[in-house]
Chain A
Amino acid sequence: MRKALWKKWRKQVMSMVFVAALGAPVLWGQSKKPIFLSADEVQLAAPKIGMDSMLFKKSGTLQMSTSQGATIRYTLDGTEVGPTSSEYSGPLVISHTVQLRAMAFHPDYKPSVEQIVNLRKIHSDISSAEIEVNPLPHENYLGTGPKTLINGKKGSINFRNGHDWLGFQTEQVEIDLKFMQALLLEKVVLSVLQDQGSWIFSPNHISINYKGLEIGSKTIEDCGEEANKKMDFIEIPIKNAVYDQLKITVESLDQIPSWHPGKGTKPWLFMDEILVE
């Protein structure tokens, strides 16, 4: 902030000097003249990321684009992107679960925010499992029914497009899964959306039960803190064993926190996929 003020002051003084040097009349406050936005105050939009599928069985191809004159830099090891990270030059083939982090840079404009995308390999196909969701999602975000959560298809970050997201505005959601055959499992992964600008928050707590016994749980401590829009995979470790059924209970925050325009109201919860590993 101090730096910004100093820059602004410097810019004002320099402009006055130039105007005086050029002999142009300085008519203080006589009429309102426009003050143009300077390039270094403008931020680049985040790179556009395209992937044939964010969930893949063998591999997926990833493409990124940005505006002319800008470069994209990225990491695949979960580390923060900086001006010296790898420069993107063409499509990438992804064959493992990775976190892609990417930013756009330009000589004139402020770098973009960091775009974070998780790309995940599907380990077990559970699309034939029986699934019950209670309560049912809101009528505007029904997806293609409860099976949406196990169809191996990822929704896009624009949740209004397609039928891949289930949206809820309730305190908790219970999901009952009955597998066609018992599976040896150590982890449940829940794919959720965080889009606080659209009143959508990450869940606060997830617990996994097997026949009434809790076998794993996770609390997302920072789900009420202000954060960028992203799709996230939440991993919940469970007691390593063979299971033929699971009950997943997903709890939302009680209310939207006070820093948000929607404070005090019930946040939305959006889920598009459940994976087991």
Chain B
Amino acid sequence: MRRRKFVGTGSLAALGIVSLNAGVLYGNWYKDAIIGHGSHRYKIDLDWGKLNSKQFPVKDCHEMVQDAKGRIILLTNHTQNNILIYDRSGKLLDSWGHEYPGAHGLTLHDENGTEFLYICDNERHEVIKTTLDGKVIQIFPYPKETGKYQKKEEYIPTETAIAANGDIYVADGYGAQYITHYDARGNVKNVFGGRGEADHLFNNAHGICIDDRNPNDPILLITARQQNKLKRFALDGTYMSTIDLPGAYICRPVIHNKHVYLATIWSGDGSEGTGFVSILDENDQLVSAPGGNDPVYQNGVLQPMYQALTIFRHPHDICVDNDENLYVAQWNSWGTYPIKLYRV
């Protein structure tokens, strides 16, 4: 996909009118591509966040979060700058981090008014809690005390989720597939999951989040990526139910208002170069799939999904900002920067 430079216009509204008029008068030449379905449709900015790749390189763009100031924080496994901090227009504000060669999972948690980051490092086999400017607060090594691990190499954590009480859940998505549950001080409280095909087990427990859409009854959402499933667990690790998303290799669930957003790294039969974005509503229905085919339910069962447009290459995470625009971080996409989707 070619990236373009274009004239700057005064306001977003003006740009909108331009493309509308141009579209009407000049056929398809000037029609902005709009992707997604139903209420969740987007225009695409491929140039967002593009930097000088010698000065601020990225390898895999693994995950992104937005902090309380509205800044967009990107985690990459390039040790020249593991963290890149942008404003929403894509301007670089800050960068730090050289010691996270396997930087993979990035979670932000507000601890009584102070925000912290939790970085899962695949190569260090541990989770690191830092301040927003990179000071290390705590390291969670491999959880030997659970009795599930003999050596650190068996533990390859991919994601964390932090509950309101400060409890920490770590998904070992590339390792033994256990979910380790710590208290806020880092003492192991519980371990559940593990590798397997049964409902309460995982094949690639890649992403985890706290689903607090019902504030009185928060639960865990955990992806079983290779199984194309999103699984619900109680906070005590009891399996509850599964949402089937055939053809969607979902990375991590991200809750925003009533919806769940999931980067979908491969699609269809899992072929190289595929992927799209999955958006579920509060009834667990796939309501929009930007870059994917139209979601179709037959007798309540989602029909297999596949890539429809070749816009994305292995989306690995979605960040939803306060304007409900999306930032798509991609894995193994030739060192390209994230793509921004503007909701229309």
Interface residues of A (CB under 8 A from B): 4, 7-8, 10-12, 14-16, 18-19, 22, 24-45, 48, 65-68, 70, 107-109, 112, 156-158, 160-161, 195, 197-198, 229
A31:B271 contact, CB within 8 angstroms: no
Is A34 within 8 A of B48, CB to CB? yes
Specify the chain A residue showing the minimal Cβ separation from B311. Answer: A42
> In the complex the two chains form, is B8's CB within 8 Å of A41's CB?
no
- For the complex, what is the distance from the CA of A43 to the CA of B45, rounded to whole Å? 16
Distance, CA A35 to CA B273, complexed state (A):
24
- A45 close to B307 (CB less than 8 A): yes
CB of A33 within 8 A of CB of B269, answer no
Q: Cβ of B15: which chain A residues have Cβ within 8 Å of it?
A: 33-34, 36
A39 / chain B contacts, CB cutoff of 8 Å: 28, 31-34
- Interface-centre pick from A19, A36, A39, A195 (highest chain B CB count, 10 A): A36
Q: Which 9 A-B pairs have the closest CB atoms?
A: A67-B308, A24-B14, A25-B10, A35-B6, A34-B45, A37-B44, A36-B32, A39-B33, A158-B269
Contact A18 B22 (CB under 8 A): yes
The 19 sampled A-B contact pairs (Cβ below 8 Å) are A11-B22, A11-B29, A15-B6, A15-B30, A24-B17, A30-B8, A35-B6, A35-B47, A36-B19, A36-B342, A37-B1, A40-B29, A42-B309, A43-B1, A45-B309, A65-B293, A66-B308, A67-B308, A157-B271
Q: Quick one: CB contact mask for B305-342 with A, threshold 8 Å, 1 for yes?
A: 01111110000000000000000000000000000101
B21 within 8 A of A: yes
Contact present for B272 and A198 (CB under 8 Å):
yes
B4-24, CB < 8 A from A: 4-15, 17-19, 21-22
Q: How many residue pairs between the two chains, A and B, have CB atoms under 8 Å in the bound complex?
A: 159
Query: What's the dominant secondary structure at chain B's contact region?
Result: loop
Q: By DSSP majority rule, is chain A's interface helix, strand, loop, or mixed?
A: loop
- Contact status A44-B272, CB under 8 Å: no
Compute how far the CA of A104 lies from the CA of B269 in the bound complex, rounded to whole angstroms: 18
Q: Would you give the shortest CB distance from A82 to chain B, in whole angstroms? A: 20
Q: Is the CB of B269 within 8 A of A40?
A: no
Tell me if A12 and B269 are in contact (CB < 8 A): no
B46 within 8 A of A: yes
Please determine whether A33 and B18 come into contact, CB atoms closer than 8 angstroms: no
**Taking A36-B19, A37-B46, A39-B32 as contacts, is the C-beta distance between A109 and B309 under 8 angstroms?**
yes
B98 at the binding interface (Cβ < 8 Å): no
The closest CB in chain B to the CB of A198 belongs to B272
User: Does B185 have its Cβ within 8 Å of any Cβ on chain A?
Assistant: no
Q: Which of chain B's residues have a CB closer than 8 A to the CB of A48?
A: 268, 306
Contact, CB under 8 Å: A14 / B308: no
Contact check, B271 vs A158: say whether CB atoms are below 8 A apart: yes
B10 adjacent to A35 (CB under 8 Å): no
* Further pairs besides A27-B10, A42-B33, A48-B268: 9, Cβ < 8 Å: A14-B30, A19-B10, A33-B12, A36-B44, A66-B308, A67-B294, A68-B294, A197-B273, A229-B271
Decide if B342 touches A34 in the complex (CB within 8 Å). Answer: yes
A38 touches B32 (CB 8 A): yes
> Counting chain A CB atoms within 10 Å of each CB, which of B6, B31, B90, B268 scores highest?
B6
* Contact pick for B45, options A35, A40, A70, CB 8 Å: A35
Known A25-B10, A68-B293; judge A41-B272 contact (CB<8 A). Answer: no
How many angstroms from the CA of A25 to the CA of B12 in the assembled complex?
Answer: 11
A16: nearest chain-B partner, CB-CB: B7
- Residues in chain A near residue B14, CB distance under 8 A: 19, 22, 24-25
In the complex, per-residue mask of B24-51: 1 if CB is within 8 Å of any chain A CB, else 0:
0010111111100000000111111000
CB proximity of B108 to chain A, nearest CB, Å: 25
A26 x B29 contact (CB < 8 A) = no
Residues of B in contact, count (CB < 8 Å): 53
Q: Considering only CB atoms, which chain A residue lies closest to B272 in the complex?
A: A197
A19-B9, A156-B269 known; A37 vs B294 contact (CB < 8 Å): no
A272–B28 Cα gap in the complex (Å)? 44
B326 to chain A, nearest CB (A): 13
Asked if B9 and A33 sit within 8 Å, CB to CB, the answer is yes
CB distance from B277 to the nearest CB of A (A): 14
Cβ–Cβ < 8 Å partners of B298 in chain A: none
- Is there an interface contact between A37 and B310, defined as CB atoms closer than 8 Å? no
Interface residue B91 (Cβ < 8 Å from any Cβ of A):
yes
* CA gap between A156 and B2 in the complex, in Å: 30
Interface presence of B270 (CB below 8 A)? yes
B89: Cβ under 8 A from any A Cβ: yes
User: Complex formed: what's the CA distance from A15 to B91 in Å?
Assistant: 24
Inter-subunit contact B29/A36 (CB<8 Å): no
When C-beta atoms are compared, the residue in chain B nearest to A11 turns out to be B30
Contacting residues, chain B, for A27 (C-beta < 8 A): 8-10
The answer to whether B33 and A28 have CB atoms under 8 Å apart is no
User: Are the C-beta atoms of A107 and B28 separated by less than 8 Å?
Assistant: yes
Compute how far the CA of A67 lies from the CA of B32 in the bound complex, rounded to whole angstroms: 18
Residues of A within 8 A of B31 (CB): 38-40, 108
The distance from the CB of A270 to the nearest CB of chain B, in whole angstroms, is 13
Is the pair B32, A12 in contact by a Cβ cutoff of 8 Å?
no
Known: A34-B45, A38-B33. A12 touches B10 (CB 8 A): no
* B180 → chain A closest CB, angstroms: 27
B2: A residues at CB distance < 8 A: 4, 41
Q: Which residues of A contact B5 (CB under 8 A)?
A: 35
Question: B18 — which chain A residues lie within 8 A by C-beta?
Answer: 15, 18-19, 22
Smallest CB gap from A28: residue in B: B8
Taking the closest CB of chain A, its distance from the CB of B298, in whole angstroms, is 14
The docked-state distance in angstroms from the alpha carbon of A43 to that of B308 is: 9
Asked if B43 and A33 sit within 8 Å, CB to CB, the answer is no
B267 to chain A, nearest CB (A): 9
Decide: B33 and A36 in contact? CB cutoff 8 A: yes
A15 neighbours in B (Cβ, 8 Å): 6-7, 9, 18, 22, 30
